[in-house]
Chains A and B, each alone.
Chain A
């Protein structure tokens, strides 16, 4: 009797086991194919936009001719930036623009280091520079306080860890006059990483170049959704009209862009108006930066969810918002697949090696690299084909991004390119996952 029951139990366990493995396989297969379809669709769409406006992307350069020189205000919020603040102010001082048409407001947001003294020292003999000092309130609040005092028709913000190229302001203003559209409210810069030293910074250098190209393509469709902190040029009247920066948002530069889109204002990208920003050098500050970005973008997406799929908002509502939402799915499925195809086999190998007391040499000797017709036929063609296709598209954009930003691909050697393609996106995906967990936690508390 007992034996019988054991038999049944074993049978039930076997069935449960089999079912769980089967459903796991089904789950993974579905994720793979859905992720493939989404990635292929959006890549093709991006390619279509690129080829539609190909001549613009290849020939157009920003004009340097301004019909007039309006008063421009530049805000530099600084919090404990004693190492870089001088260089930042210097880059603003060196802008090729009439000094009397410029107003620079440096905001010391209650720094505890020597930032304030350094600013005071620097601006002594420069009448166009002003210092605004107050208790620590955060960046958005600092900007709003300065915004109340701004006299310029346009104003730009420049984070104190970033440095603007001398020609950028002229190029951006030229774009304002060229478009000649009162609805055009923000012009975003082309951000590059400032003097990358180590591999992490060099990878970000590559990433930023690709972002410039993508932003330029998005700009053609009026679907930009970020106005980067370093040197976005705003139309003062519009920003005042919509109530300035959101002081509660952790990424006010994304929130303001979403708000512009919501009220049907336009954002344009100045693809050769360069700003150099200091990228995090170590993993920990990198993690903190990205977590803030991703968390911020989730909050923005949630805040402006009525735009998602809304036909009133045209391409922004339909394709861009869908892309932003799908981005999370792709990142999550990427991690799931990596775990399934990388970590599980890795665990299995470790266990096998432990069983063999780490005597791996005989196993290595057994590996034979055979290459014949059968090896070729055994390659997982249906999946490999899509992966190869997506990889080719990303290589294409990678190459075009370098042409677009006028940089050589191997400027910092070939080495950073390998981790950029191999596991940088996985790293970002993991950070995104952690941010998502945090986001859902904070939501639960609020609701």
Chain B
């Protein structure tokens, strides 16, 4: 039944090859454009970081000055600058960091960006804590430890952003990515200081809360730390 006289049918070999070449071209174009974009991103990040650096220096100096001369009438300026700078840090970099965490590329630039962000958060947290004492600021600095792999961390993250939205600039959240412990000694120091074994963990006023802290519990914690707030009554 089979037509033995017609054994070979037409193969559009040229089209297979051209299609392959075009596919290759499209992918290589995409990947090289991707690299250009990546470099652009890091360049832009450098600019942002430089701006942050100046702001931090200014803050640090304000604090030193205030400490040295015990001139507490400078407190309002420090308070506003601190809140603004921290908000700015979170606004300009949290998306970038989320992006970097998702797209795990083990380039050195990538690691530097993440370490830098953790360090920024730790030093602002310290500054916020000290300023709170010195200037009697009505703020709650929250240290938030998480890892990329932990499945309930995004939930804690959402709960924290919820309170950031409800309390505005009174709640300051400092996220610390524990995955960086190998690369950044400062993270290891923070971990051992609070003896972090579980995640997510949040630290408020030197007290550690392990596991996902729910809405009502977190509200209590925040309200206990704040002197007064319309949301707490």
A interface residues, Cβ below 8 angstroms from B: 10, 17-18, 21, 25, 36-37, 40-41, 44-45, 48-49, 52, 183, 221-222, 241-242, 262-264, 311-319, 348-349, 351-352, 355-357, 359, 362-363, 365-366, 373-375, 377-378, 380-382, 385-386, 389
Q: Which residue of A lies closest to B99 (CB)?
A: A378
Chain A contacts for B214, CB-based, 8 A:
355
Q: Report yes or no: B37 in contact with A355, Cβ–Cβ below 8 A.
A: no
Q: Which of A17, A48, A242 contacts B18 (CB 8 A)?
A: A48
Residue with the greatest number of chain A CB neighbours at <10 A, chosen from B2, B6, B158: B158
Chain B contacts for A356, CB-based, 8 A:
158-159, 162, 215
Which among B24-32, B61-69, B73-81, B135-143 touches the partner chain?
B24-32
Chain A contacts for B164, CB-based, 8 A:
366
**Given A40-B27, A377-B37, A382-B31: A263 and B2 interface contact (C-beta under 8 Å):** yes
Chain A contacts for B158, CB-based, 8 A:
349, 352, 355-356, 363
B51 an interface residue at 8 Å Cβ cutoff?
no
CA of A232 to CA of B18 in the docked complex: distance in angstroms?
34
Q: Which of B3, B16, B31 contacts A45 (CB 8 A)?
A: B16
**Given A356-B158, A377-B40, A378-B95: A363 and B22 interface contact (C-beta under 8 Å):** no
B side interface size, CB within 8 A: 49
Q: Which of B6, B22, B149 contacts A264 (CB 8 A)?
A: B6
Q: Which of B6, B34, B41, B149 contacts A385 (CB 8 A)?
A: B34
B155 an interface residue at 8 Å Cβ cutoff?
yes
Chain A: minimal CB distance from B5 (Å): 9
Q: Which residue of B lies closest to A354 (CB)?
A: B155
Q: Report yes or no: A18 in contact with B15, Cβ–Cβ below 8 A.
A: no
CA of A423 to CA of B199 in the docked complex: distance in angstroms?
36
Chain B contacts for A241, CB-based, 8 A:
1
B233 an interface residue at 8 Å Cβ cutoff?
no
Q: Report yes or no: B37 in contact with A366, Cβ–Cβ below 8 A.
A: no
Q: Report yes or no: B3 in contact with A355, Cβ–Cβ below 8 A.
A: no
Q: Which residue of A lies closest to B7 (CB)?
A: A312
Q: Report yes or no: A312 in contact with B10, Cβ–Cβ below 8 A.
A: no
Q: Which of A17, A183, A315, A362 contacts B10 (CB 8 A)?
A: A315
Cβ-Cβ contact count across A and B, 8 Å cutoff = 128
CA of A342 to CA of B86 in the docked complex: distance in angstroms?
32
Give 30 CB contacts A-B under 8 Å.
A18-B149, A36-B27, A37-B27, A40-B23, A41-B19, A241-B1, A264-B2, A311-B8, A312-B9, A314-B8, A315-B11, A318-B11, A348-B154, A351-B152, A351-B155, A355-B155, A355-B214, A356-B162, A357-B215, A362-B165, A362-B166, A363-B165, A366-B161, A366-B165, A377-B44, A381-B30, A382-B31, A385-B34, A386-B26, A386-B30
7 additional contacts, CB 8 Å, given A41-B23, A374-B41, A385-B33?
Answer: A40-B26, A45-B19, A262-B2, A362-B166, A366-B161, A381-B30, A386-B30
**Given A366-B165, A381-B33: A48 and B15 interface contact (C-beta under 8 Å):** yes
CA of A18 to CA of B150 in the docked complex: distance in angstroms?
9
Chain A contacts for B161, CB-based, 8 A:
363, 366
Chain A: minimal CB distance from B75 (Å): 28
Chain A contacts for B103, CB-based, 8 A:
380
B89 an interface residue at 8 Å Cβ cutoff?
no
CA of A356 to CA of B22 in the docked complex: distance in angstroms?
50
B185 an interface residue at 8 Å Cβ cutoff?
no
Chain A contacts for B148, CB-based, 8 A:
21
Chain B contacts for A375, CB-based, 8 A:
95
Q: Report yes or no: A374 in contact with B33, Cβ–Cβ below 8 A.
A: no
CA of A53 to CA of B19 in the docked complex: distance in angstroms?
16
Q: Which of A45, A315, A355, A365 contacts B9 (CB 8 A)?
A: A315
Residue with the greatest number of chain B CB neighbours at <10 A, chosen from A21, A313, A382: A382
B192 an interface residue at 8 Å Cβ cutoff?
no
Chain A contacts for B92, CB-based, 8 A:
374
Chain B: minimal CB distance from A385 (Å): 4
**Given A44-B23, A363-B162: A378 and B30 interface contact (C-beta under 8 Å):** no
Chain A: minimal CB distance from B98 (Å): 9
B50 an interface residue at 8 Å Cβ cutoff?
no
Chain A contacts for B96, CB-based, 8 A:
374, 378
**Given A17-B149, A348-B154: A355 and B159 interface contact (C-beta under 8 Å):** yes
Residue with the greatest number of chain A CB neighbours at <10 A, chosen from B3, B16, B18, B19: B19
B190 an interface residue at 8 Å Cβ cutoff?
no
Chain B contacts for A242, CB-based, 8 A:
1
Chain B: minimal CB distance from A21 (Å): 4
Chain B contacts for A365, CB-based, 8 A:
165
CA of A151 to CA of B152 in the docked complex: distance in angstroms?
72
Chain B contacts for A352, CB-based, 8 A:
154-155, 158-159
Q: Which residue of B lies closest to A241 (CB)?
A: B1
Q: Which of A262, A263, A319, A373 contacts B44 (CB 8 A)?
A: A373
B12 an interface residue at 8 Å Cβ cutoff?
yes
B203 an interface residue at 8 Å Cβ cutoff?
no
Q: Report yes or no: B9 in contact with A49, Cβ–Cβ below 8 A.
A: no
**Given A48-B19, A377-B41: A222 and B27 interface contact (C-beta under 8 Å):** no
Q: Report yes or no: A319 in contact with B16, Cβ–Cβ below 8 A.
A: yes
Chain B: minimal CB distance from A240 (Å): 12
Q: Report yes or no: B149 in contact with A21, Cβ–Cβ below 8 A.
A: yes
Chain A: minimal CB distance from B16 (Å): 7
CA of A357 to CA of B41 in the docked complex: distance in angstroms?
38
Chain A contacts for B122, CB-based, 8 A:
none
Q: Report yes or no: A355 in contact with B215, Cβ–Cβ below 8 A.
A: yes
Q: Which residue of B lies closest to A45 (CB)?
A: B19
CA of A315 to CA of B15 in the docked complex: distance in angstroms?
10
CA of A380 to CA of B38 in the docked complex: distance in angstroms?
10
Q: Report yes or no: A221 in contact with B162, Cβ–Cβ below 8 A.
A: no
Q: Report yes or no: B12 in contact with A263, Cβ–Cβ below 8 A.
A: no
B193 an interface residue at 8 Å Cβ cutoff?
no
Chain A: minimal CB distance from B99 (Å): 5
Chain B contacts for A221, CB-based, 8 A:
12
Q: Which residue of A lies closest to B39 (CB)?
A: A377
Q: Report yes or no: A382 in contact with B30, Cβ–Cβ below 8 A.
A: yes
CA of A221 to CA of B9 in the docked complex: distance in angstroms?
10
Q: Report yes or no: A389 in contact with B155, Cβ–Cβ below 8 A.
A: no
**Given A374-B95, A380-B103: A313 and B37 interface contact (C-beta under 8 Å):** no
